[in-house]
Structure 1
Amino acid sequence: MNVRRICVLRCKSLLNSKYLRSSQIVGVRKLTSPSGSSPKVCIVGGGPAGFYTAQHLLKSHLDIRVDLFERLPVPFGLNVINTFTQTALHERCNFFGNVSVGKDVSVAELRQAYHAVVLSYGAEGNRHLGIPGEDLRGVYSAKDFVGWYNGLPGNKELRPDLSSETAVVLGQGNVALDVARILLSPLDILKKTDITQPSLEALAGSRVQRVLIVGRRGPLQVACTIKELREMVNLPGTMADMVTADFEGVASVLKDLSRPRKRLTELLLKAAQGGTSGQVGAPRQWGFRFLRSPLEILPADDLTSAAGIRLAVNVLEGSHEGARAVPTGEVEELKCGMVISSIGYRSLCIDPVVPFDQHKAVIPNTVGRVRPGAGLYCSGWVKRGPTGVIATTMNDSFDTARSLLQDLEAGVIDASSVKPGSRAVLSSLESRGVKWVSFSDWEKIDKEEVRRGQRIGKPREKILDVAEMLRVAHS
């Protein structure tokens, strides 16, 4: 399988269950341009939002040309979908990796070179806990931790401390479960994945035996989806460790829940009651801890590393998914040497000319249209915030693409004007010494990673150094 930047265990939640393939766009009128006119669109970001936007534009407009610029030398981010490869290979689509927009080339330059620019670069920043002890050794963001075991170049030096018996993950979404699963997975399972060799070696020496997944609300508000929860409860060599009191009254409201929430809650109840396929007495445990909010990471005697976490005990006001967590004034402490914050990501402003809401960490927009001025759009997390599953990103990106196509048809975007497109941008990049990576260059990296993996019995061994990627790509 042509996979980049995936650990298979994480891929199951990021790829198989939620990623809907869209091989057909139904009910969209195919647009064309006047003779000799081909609208040129630049998309900033080579992840799912960028590729879904490109896919819709290419399928819906017979003349449009799309260039994708990505900060990393590789496409797809943490995800690979066959249809993304098909899009990248489309005759009217080009991929340019290792190009950092806002640094190597400005948004203003892109707007001069293209009829429209779509910002789809996702959320590269971390949300901070804002509590004492957050900077202690042993405290990590889930974004960095996931990047470490998935082989993102920026996280290769993380070297997490895995010497403690108990780890606490703050947040109860799919990423939190992915992290817990990596920490507790038997080594023989991890060896069959394309997790990086340094991460595999570190996890082989891990002493983590127990992972507690902490959330501020209750079982009816847990943010993960059923597939990820099912993989957690069925993980060999582990057993669920829940607090029975957290589930009081939950069974009585099952009939009032939506079908997805009902199925998820039923599986939670089953796990709490010890009725899953997990092994009673298994050496490793995991469990949710509900109605808890972090107050402070507690230091060890050396005052430099984490030794525990102090949590506020909450009660819920309201019901079901709209319930709000309210502190009771009671606190409790958990001993742990590792804390991983999975409370969400933040988009960043990559160029001061782009309007940006620093509080919400999004680009203000109307159905993807960025104001003021025509020709600037956004899609994905930078448009709506880091929420939803892949189907949300797909539909969101299609909405942005439709807005752009409507503006083309209405003449809001003047496609009759001559724009140089990638020719001008690549010329500027070359003069600045930027070595961009084409999709065919990426295929060389892909082939080399697969070759290295086969030598050691893995599906892939990822190249972790950007300079080495570039050497392979341009060989």
Structure 2
Amino acid sequence: MTTVGTEAQPLRVAIIGSGPSAFYAADHLLKQSDLVVEVDMFDRLPTPFGLVRGGVAPDHQKIKTVTKAFNLVAKNPRFRFFGYVEYGKDLSHADLVEHYHQILYATGAQSDRHMGIPGEDLTNSFPATAFVAWYNGHPDYRHLQFDLSQERVAVVGVGNVAIDVARILCLSHEELARTDIADHALEALSKSNIKEVYLLGRRGPAQAAFTTPEVKELGELEEADVVAIPSEVALDDVSRADLEAGGDKAAQKKVELLQGYAQRAPAGKKRRLIFRFLVSPTEVLGDSDGRVAGLRLAKNELYASESGSIASRATGETEDLPVGLVFRSVGYRGSPLVDVPFNERWGTFLNQKGRIIDPTSQQPKVGEYTAGWIKRGPSGVIGTNKPDAVETVQCMLEDLVAGQVLNPSHAERESIEKLVQERQPNYVTFADWQRLDEIEVANGAATGRPRVKFTRIEDMLAALGKNVTA
């Protein structure tokens, strides 16, 4: 009997998704010196790298250099990329079971969580994820339109994504024109009438989820003053005791920066970015045309919960904030896939340390795994996905040693390529992507930008000489 993981029968692994967790998992698998592994990575878009391309802010180019490491993974002759191939449409779960010993789902967390308040679905109320995808040129979102004629905008949430949205709304045309922001977003934002952007946090400055570098760079905006209300960034007794007990220097630094903004005299710049803490939206207020006209805010106080965490509760005092545009950034969740057990409550695949769990037997499903945000929820930065992916791969290797792998009837390398060619003749290889990458970078160099992105799939296919009508 041929042993799986040898030259005669390599361990065949399918990875669904091509973001950081997918590439970190592929890298760890391919680095196994005592094992022959072949990795096929699938993505429904022609472009790889997931949120590194579609989520990282366009003015944060340094963060995107992580793709250099992913390019090295893709150079491995035992790695293949099948872009523009969608699970559930071009390939089914049954197809993967027939062709691979192991399947790893790394599809991220693309959906947003709702605030659950009246008026949330009014015109001009949006999830932050949609705005981020729009300005980053994601093909699914490029058609969206945001009413940037409004003078006041509220961003609900104080995580890094919320900070990104607020910052992009406050950047000058010159600042944006030095980035790889999508052309349609650059044009729309250049005509923006926005004068005030509010960032709203339900707890205090010490509990804000954004990182220190994110809040520090706001003070360097060319056309926006950063404002905070002294009473809202002052440390309450509960937060002060928590910081002193925990010795959290990062949180202390964030508080110091915010308190500095509260003491800084405005320079009279074109826009204002205003931090608000200890407030929770309870209703999105609308006008007679069904458009956002404001937010009703409940003012909060902090207390130590029974579990020891710091929670907020309403004081009974309210405030109406006049805004014409609202972006919610209160959390993200993954989306289910056909035939993959999903935990609706958590918005993740049902798993234990990356092993997909059968909901009926509560036992691991042979040969099926998950990694990244769809495994653990939307937490951490890009690098956090590396140990997460390694944990999953360790489970995969343990199961291989135990003989707990799928028994594909078509494990040969050529079989899946033939099937993909039949189902999606316009599929994109990594070499195809590199050609698109070269074109984007060249187009950007011509205008002094990092790149000019393709934002339409048909344009990508046409640039590669593929039959767009197929």
Decide: shared fold, TM above 0.5.
yes
Q: Which residue of 1 aligns with 2:51?
A: 78
Once the two structures are superposed, what CA deviation does each residue of 1:336-372 show, in whole Å capped at 9, x if it has no partner? Answer: 1110111122211111x21111111111111101123
Equivalent residue runs for 1:44-123 within 5 Å:
44-61=16-33, 62-79=35-52, 80=64, 81=66, 82-123=68-109
Which runs of structure 2 are paired with 1:31-430 in the superposition (5 Å)?
33-34=5-6, 36-61=8-33, 62-79=35-52, 80=64, 81=66, 82-249=68-235, 253=241, 255-256=244-245, 257-274=247-264, 280-302=267-289, 304-318=290-304, 322-351=309-338, 353-372=339-358, 373-413=365-405, 419-420=410-411, 423-430=414-421
CA apart distance, 1:77: 1.8
**CA–CA distance in structure 2, aligned partners of residues 462 and 388 of structure 1:** 27
Deviates more, 1:209-218 or 1:133-142: 133-142
Q: Which residue pairs with 2:55 in the alignment?
A: none
Distance 2:27 2:104 in 1: 13
Deviation at 1:280, TM superposition (A): 2.8
Q: What corresponds to 1:10 in structure 2?
A: none
SS at match of 2:314: strand
Q: Secondary structure at the match of 1:424?
A: helix
Tell me the distance in 2 between the aligned counterparts of 1:402 and 1:385: 20
Shift of 1:70: 0.6
Q: Which consecutive unaligned segments of at least 5 residues does structure 1 have?
A: 1-30
Gaps of at least 5 residues in structure 2 are 53-63, 359-364
- Other-structure match for 1:449: 440
More strand by share: 2
Cα distance between partner residues in 2 of 1:173 and 1:346: 15
Structure 2 distance, partners of 1:34, 1:84, is 25
Over residues 389-448 of structure 1, what are the superposed CA-to-partner deviations in whole Å (9 max), with x where a residue is unaligned? 222222111111111112112322268x77425533333333334521000011121122
- In the TM superposition, residue 35 of structure 1 has moved relative to its aligned partner by 5.1
Question: Do the aligned partners of 1:67 and 1:422 also contact (CA within 8 Å) in 2?
Answer: no
1:460 matched to 2:432:
no
Alignment deviations for residues 161-201 of structure 1 (CA, whole Å, 9 cap, x no partner): 11111110011000111111100011111111111121111
CA deviation after TM superposition for structure 1 residue 104, in Å: 1.4
Aligned partners of 2:230 and 2:259 also within 8 Å: no
TM-score with structure 2 setting the length:
0.88
Deviation of the 1:39 alpha carbon = 0.2
RMSD (CA atoms)? 2.2
**Counterpart code for 1:407:** D
Gap change, CA 1:32 and 1:280, over 3 Å in 2: farther
1:436 aligns with 2:427: yes
Q: Distance in 1 between matches of 2:151 and 2:454?
A: 31
Change (3 A) 1:99 1:290: same
CA distance in 2, matches of 1:38, 1:418: 14
Give the C-alpha shift of residue 87 in structure 1. Answer: 0.8
* Matched-pair contact (CA < 8 Å) for 1:218–1:291: yes
Q: How far did residue 286 of structure 1 move?
A: 0.9
| C-alpha deviation, 1:125, in angstroms | 1.8
What code does the residue aligned with 1:345 have? Answer: Y
What SS does the corresponding residue of 1:374 show, helix, strand or coil?
strand
The answer on whether the counterparts of 1:369 and 1:377 sit within 8 Å (CA) in structure 2 is: yes
Q: Residue 260 of structure 1: CA displacement?
A: 2.1
Q: Is the 8 A contact 1:115 1:419 kept in 2?
A: no
Deviations 1:262-305 (A, max 9, x none): 22222222222228xxx633232112211112211111232x21
The whole-number CA distance in structure 2 between the counterparts of 1:126 and 1:258 is: 29
Kindly provide the CA deviation profile for residues 48-103 of structure 1, in whole angstroms up to 9, marking residues without a partner as x: 11111111111125411111101110000231421111111211111111111112
